[in-house]
Amino acid sequence: MKLESPGNNCITHDFNFGRPSAGSWQAISIPMSQILASKEACFSLANVNAAFDILPAWGDQRGVQLRLRNIRFE
């Protein structure tokens, strides 16, 4: 998971949270302070064009299904 701002590589660093067991829900909480501490200099929380990118690990996309619920930025 990462956030993006417009520009060249204006992103936060990737946050990996693993692969949950099939058929189960996994609650994930990442403090905003941790997200902002990992950003590139040009990233701006006031100008986000991708609220979050969620991608499976490279080479581990087979059978991946994502269901997102109760997403909050606090």
- Domain ranges within the chain, ordered by starting residue: 1-74
What is the average pLDDT score of the chain? Answer: 83
Whether 6 shows a pLDDT value over 80: the answer reads: yes
In this prediction, residues 39-57 reach a mean pLDDT of 84
Whether 56 shows a pLDDT value over 80: the answer reads: no
The residue that leads in pLDDT, 44 or 24, is 44
Per the CB < 8 A criterion, the answer to whether 11 and 5 are in contact is: yes
C-alpha closest to that of 50 among 9, 21, 19:
9
In this prediction, residues 40-65 reach a mean pLDDT of 81
Q: What pLDDT digit, counting tens, does each position of 20-37 carry?
A: 777 888 888 888 888 888
C-alpha distances out from residue 12 to 3, 22, 28, 54, Å: 6, 28, 17, 12
